[in-house]
Amino acid sequence: MHGDQFPAAEKILSDIENVFKRDKDLKDFEILPVTVGENKSPVLHAEHTLGLQEWCVRHLYVHVYHKLTNLKQQQRLRREDPNTLSRLLLGGVLLNPDCTFLWNIRRELIVMGRFDLFSDLHINAVTLSRRPKSSEAFVYRRWLLSRILESYLDASTTLSILEEELRVTLMAANRYANNYHAWNHRMWIMSHLPQAQDHFINEWVSSEEWISKHVSEHSGLQYREYLFKQIMQNVGHTYFCHKLRLSLENFFLPLKSSELYCVSLKDSTPLKQLHSLVIDILEQKDFCSSCPIKCGSNPHILHIGFLAYELLLVTELIRLYPGHEALWCHRRFVLFSLYSIVKEINTYEASKSDISDGVPHPKAQKLSVSDIEIECNFLWSVIVRHEESLLEECSLCTPEESYQSKLAFRHQEWVEKILKRSGSCVKQSTS
């Protein structure tokens, strides 16, 4: 392309740049459907939103792109006037954030120290407001952040970075359904920022609202699963224990009508402790200790508490919003985690009872395993009871909800194959 075919380009670019300079809190960029250009600037600015009229977009982008490729080919990028270059790049990434070439020039200039890391983060956030699913933009954002994190940061700066990243990813997730890149970025932030682990529990609490409003989005649920795993690694008493108490009460409610309710278990194993803890919760005994579920006394009660909370939540969502597969998948995650706990307790018990007086009894192994599995029943039977009642309810779906019954059928198959087969001896002993 020869010559300047769109003489207004530089003027428009500098208008855009001025908006960025004037408004440090600029949040959104959008293109307005004005197809006929009047003799006015196509750049609008109101309420921290930058608007660009549609008629100039094509010409502007062509101008920017050709100018930059020409400079690159002639290897004159470094010698070009920094102000002109920054204007061109700003217009370029706003209009097409999927273009790696543009972000790469920015990278070069950052490395040379010509661009500021934090104002680049700002520009990147504004581009994401129009293209919330641009993976290139997110990749560049992570590159910037890892450069920022290389140097020493005080606590308040880290906190403000965290808050800004949480805001940007939430905005992107709200604007584009099933936005994998946004949630992926959020996970990256939570695992790379030094102070992020203090916020896991808050994130867990706030993500509940999001998932109950975006019932068909697995990416949001996957983020919640990630949070759950992180919390479980370093679980301890929090303000959330009070909520868990109610969940545990509701979760173990089927136990009351079961013969396992008052079954007495031998010796004070963790399982026995767990059982008596659950009985205490169900009988609403007052705890004098500071934690309503005595989370310190048994390693499993907190894990089960979180999972019980989640299982009840997902049950409610499945009832309220029929026919969303993501919810069923999440349910399977919860069930599988519960199943792993049951298994963990089982193996622990098995290994323990094999050793009496410090001498293992290899021959007695078979007998002891089945004994222990009966003992472990109470948790297992509750899980199975929950699944059975939900599946029964879904089999009564109206014809309009046929997709729901299809999903329920699939779930039933999964339960049969994965959970019940492995716990078949448990099942036999209950019947």
369: left (phi over 0), alpha (psi -120 to 50) or beta: alpha
265: left (phi over 0), alpha (psi -120 to 50) or beta: beta
Candidates 17-25, 49-57, 149-157, 263-271: pick the segment binding another protein (CB under 8 A): 49-57
Candidates 266-274, 314-322, 350-358, 359-367: pick the segment binding another protein (CB under 8 A): 314-322
Q: Could you say which of 47, 81, 150, 154 contacts another protein (CB under 8 A)?
A: 47
44 counts as binding another protein under rule CB under 8 A: yes
Number of residues that bind another protein (CB under 8 A): 27
Cβ 247 vs Cβ 312: under 8 Å? yes
H helix runs in 354-423, sequence order: 365-394, 402-414, 421-422
- Residues in 387-426 that interact with another protein by CB under 8 A: none
Candidates 72-80, 86-94, 172-180, 281-289: pick the segment binding another protein (CB under 8 A): 172-180
Cβ nearer to another protein, comparing 141 with 214: 214
- Residues in 178-207 that interact with another protein by CB under 8 A: none
Cβ nearer to another protein, comparing 166 with 327: 327
Cβ nearer to another protein, comparing 57 with 384: 57
**Position 116, amino acid:** D
23 counts as binding another protein under rule CB under 8 A: no
Q: Could you say which of 32, 111, 253, 364 contacts another protein (CB under 8 A)?
A: 32
Q: Which of 148, 31, 2 is nearest to 97 (CA)?
A: 31
292 counts as binding another protein under rule CB under 8 A: no
Q: Could you say which of 41, 197, 212, 297 contacts another protein (CB under 8 A)?
A: 212
Q: Classify 98 as helix, strand or coil.
A: coil
Q: Could you say which of 67, 214, 300, 303 contacts another protein (CB under 8 A)?
A: 214
Helix or strand (DSSP H, E) at 44: strand 43-46
Candidates 85-93, 226-234, 315-323, 338-346: pick the segment binding another protein (CB under 8 A): 315-323
Cβ nearer to another protein, comparing 197 with 216: 216
Residue 355 φ/ψ, nearest 5 degrees: -110, 105
Q: Could you say which of 320, 355, 364, 367 contacts another protein (CB under 8 A)?
A: 320
d(C-alpha 18, C-alpha 9), whole Å: 14
Q: Classify 316 as helix, strand or coil.
A: helix
Q: Could you say which of 88, 166, 182, 215 contacts another protein (CB under 8 A)?
A: 215
User: Which tokens is 271 given?
Assistant: 């399982």
Q: What sign does the CA torsion over 384, 385, 390, 396 have? A: positive
**DSSP string of 103-116, one letter each residue:** HHHHHHHHHTT-S-
Count CB atoms within 10 A of the CB of residue 206.
12
98 counts as binding another protein under rule CB under 8 A: no
152 Cβ neighbours under 8 A, 6+ residues apart: none
188 Cβ neighbours under 8 A, 6+ residues apart: 142
Cβ nearer to another protein, comparing 214 with 275: 214
Q: Which residues bind another protein (CB under 8 A)?
A: 28, 30, 32-35, 44, 46-47, 49, 51, 54, 129, 174-175, 177, 209, 212-216, 316-317, 320-321, 324
